[in-house]
Amino acid sequence: MVRTPYGAVSGRFERGAAVFRGIPYAAPPVGPLRFRPPVPPEPWDGVRDAGAFGPTAPKPPYSEAFAQYLSDPVVAGEGWLNLNVWTPEPGRGARLPVLVWLHGGALTRGSSAVPVYDGQPFARDGVVFVSVNYRLGVEGYGLFPDAPANPGLHDQLAALRWVHESIEAFGGDRGRVTLCGQSAGAISVGALIAAPQAQGLFRRAVLQSGPPEALDRDKVRRMVRRMATRLKIPATAEAFAAVDPAVLLRAQAETGRLSSPVLGGPAFGIVVDGDLVPRDPLEALVEGTVARDTDLLMGWTRDEYRLWLVPGGLLERVDRLGPVALAGAMARCHCGGEVVRGYRALRPDAGTAEIVGQLVTDHLLRIPLHRLADARPGSSYVYEFAWPSGRTGLGACHALELGFVFDTGEVPEARKLAGEGAPRELADAMHRAWVRFAVEGDPGWRAWGTTHPVQLFGDGEPHVVHGPRDAELALWAADAGAPEPAPESDPPSGRSTRGTELRSAVRRLRRSVGVRRH
């Protein structure tokens, strides 16, 4: 039993760790609190049972194509703003390092209840592990004229404040908190590193396959407006709050049908709001105006794009589209033909889908993370995960590294993505690196510098390679002076021929592949 600022909770001893699940860090965001920043939970009398995961935020299920690779449990209830704690030594005085986990899922799916995110291996190795649920989709990231922006990010900030106030009672040290996330969780981490309100709440940060970024506000507004049109209601928080949640989720799923990391399109995301996100997080971090003392561990998987394109046969369809797909990728990435030709020269045996996938991966992930590392040499550590899945076609895809980082490769949900035969020694090495970073701020290889050292986790012994992506990134630097196509929402007048052709290619590509956002 442990006392929090809002009441006592009782957990369970499991496999050598004390586990507390479903602890509320904020009040249920329903009724008048819907679409609003979180408020503290109501204190409770007695001892609250913390033996089971708390409710998960409303979310649409994965499509059948993605569900064969990814698991996303649903726990019913309205108290979505809850967290879980695994600790080897509950009670004040232990002062152990803490790792706080923000799950991915495109800010529309995912939860802390995914079995791959079991915190027991971290607790086993002396780290207090905290995993967080937060609002998703339109509830967490819709942009309305009558409600504040980014309530889901405010949820995460509230969870960090709870950790700051409460974690010492669970054996943690609030001065040694590492904030960690993957995909949308990493994007959230990046925004929180740069958020003035989050300063002092964590000391280190891990960004797995997600850069600091702020989405264009009009892109999020278009998502809300399209949902409003489908629902035949005004695009306001008041009108959305009156819609049955199940109906809202169906409209959200249909509206986001043609959105994906490869194709772009309207989506939910963190936006600059003049408050929690006063400016673009990447620019703030690169300029060094905030969080100069935050140690960073960041990286990507070799074949991120394969999780976006392999399910449902999209990889083959993009290959068949050939020039249309390449033109669409140029528009998506705001690059010219020289970049595409350079990628072709570097990968003479690659098909169209691989070229498109790597272009988009570099544009979305590797270039911004390189910029961030360049701005913080000596305190940034970069990795690439390159072990190929045993599942046909996935390669070293997006999210595959998670079972290795958590050392949970034996659970069925990890094998859905990795297949059989995942190397035990690779999980040992990756998990040990993440633990060491949380404990010491150093994962065990050279910090970023002029030679661009990158720790490669693949077949065989992990080792450092220097500048493995420098040739590709040099192509983007050479292309930086080329004119970019106008945004998709610009009026027809004044558009360049290049911009018009590329936008038309994006629309044809979306219609051709009919990709569903996972």
Give mean pLDDT, residues 41-45.
98
Cα–Cα distance for residue pair 221/213, rounded to 1 Å? 17
Catalytic status, residue 466: no
The pLDDT value recorded for residue 485 is 43
Check pLDDT > 90 for residue 257.
no
Mean pLDDT taken over the chain: 92
- Active-site residue (options: 398, 431, 452, 518): 398
Catalytic status, residue 164: no
The amino acid occupying position 398 is H
The alpha carbon dihedral of 329, 353, 507, 251 has a sign of negative
Topology of domain 2-513 in CATH is Rossmann fold (3.40.50)
The pLDDT value recorded for residue 260 is 77
The amino acid occupying position 202 is F
Nearest 5°: phi and psi at 217? -60, -35
Check pLDDT > 80 for residue 200.
yes
Cα–Cα distance for residue pair 56/136, rounded to 1 Å? 10
- Active-site residue (options: 139, 168, 304, 472): 304
Check pLDDT > 60 for residue 517.
no
- Find the range with the poorest average confidence among 128-137, 142-151, 205-214, 489-498: 489-498
**Residue-wise DSSP of 271-323:** ---SSSS-S-HHHHHHHTSS-TT-EEEEEEETTTTHHHHTGGGHHHHHHHHTH
Give mean pLDDT, residues 132-143.
97
**How would residue 147 be classed by pLDDT, with cut points 50, 70 and 90?**
very high
Closest to 213 in 3D by CA, of 148, 154, 265, 286:
286
**How would residue 481 be classed by pLDDT, with cut points 50, 70 and 90?**
low
Nearest 5°: phi and psi at 343? -65, -40
Nearest 5°: phi and psi at 86? -110, 130
- Active-site residue (options: 111, 112, 166, 183): 183
Render pLDDT for 409-463 as a digit per residue (tens, 0 to 9).
999 999 999 999 999 999 999 999 999 999 999 999 999 999 999 999 998 999 9
Render pLDDT for 317-333 as a digit per residue (tens, 0 to 9).
999 999 999 999 999 99
Neighbours of 212 (CB within 10 A): 28
- H or E element that contains 340: helix 337-346
- H or E element that contains 394: none
Cα–Cα distance for residue pair 263/501, rounded to 1 Å? 15
Give mean pLDDT, residues 391-395.
97
Quote the strand ranges of 11-81, DSSP E.
12-14, 17-24, 47-49
Residues of the chain above pLDDT 70, percent: 92
The alpha carbon dihedral of 219, 225, 228, 232 has a sign of negative
The pLDDT value recorded for residue 340 is 96
Check pLDDT > 60 for residue 495.
no
Closest to 277 in 3D by CA, of 148, 138, 128:
148
Between the alpha carbon of residue 6 and those of residues 24, 42, 173, 489, the distances in Å are: 9, 7, 19, 47
Strand 2-4 to strand 7-10: parallel, antiparallel, or no bridges (unpaired)? antiparallel
The pLDDT value recorded for residue 503 is 55
**How would residue 404 be classed by pLDDT, with cut points 50, 70 and 90?**
very high
The pLDDT value recorded for residue 151 is 98
Render pLDDT for 287-328 as a digit per residue (tens, 0 to 9).
998 999 999 999 999 999 999 999 989 899 999 999 999 999
Residue pair 299/208 in contact (Cβ under 8 Å)? The answer is yes
pTM for the structure as a whole: 0.93
The pLDDT value recorded for residue 511 is 57
Check pLDDT > 80 for residue 508.
no
The alpha carbon dihedral of 486, 490, 496, 502 has a sign of positive
Q: Name, of 28-42, 257-271, 467-481, the range with top average pLDDT.
A: 28-42
Render pLDDT for 354-374 as a digit per residue (tens, 0 to 9).
999 999 999 999 999 999 999
Domain boundaries, the chain: 2-513
Helix H segments across 376-420? 402-405, 412-418
Could you tell me how many residues make up the chain?
518
- H or E element that contains 99: strand 96-102
Give mean pLDDT, residues 248-267.
84
Cα–Cα distance for residue pair 396/393, rounded to 1 Å? 9
The pLDDT value recorded for residue 494 is 38
Check pLDDT > 70 for residue 504.
no
Residue whose pair of structure tokens reads 């049972």 in the numeric block: 49
Residues of the chain above pLDDT 90, percent: 88
The pLDDT value recorded for residue 18 is 97
Catalytic status, residue 63: no
Closest to 52 in 3D by CA, of 112, 129, 92:
112
Render pLDDT for 62-117 as a digit per residue (tens, 0 to 9).
999 999 999 999 999 999 999 999 999 998 889 999 999 999 999 999 999 999 99
**Cβ neighbours for 64, distance < 8 A, ≥ 6 positions apart:** none
Cα–Cα distance for residue pair 381/324, rounded to 1 Å? 37
Helix H segments across 147-216? 151-166, 184-194
Cα–Cα distance for residue pair 510/314, rounded to 1 Å? 11
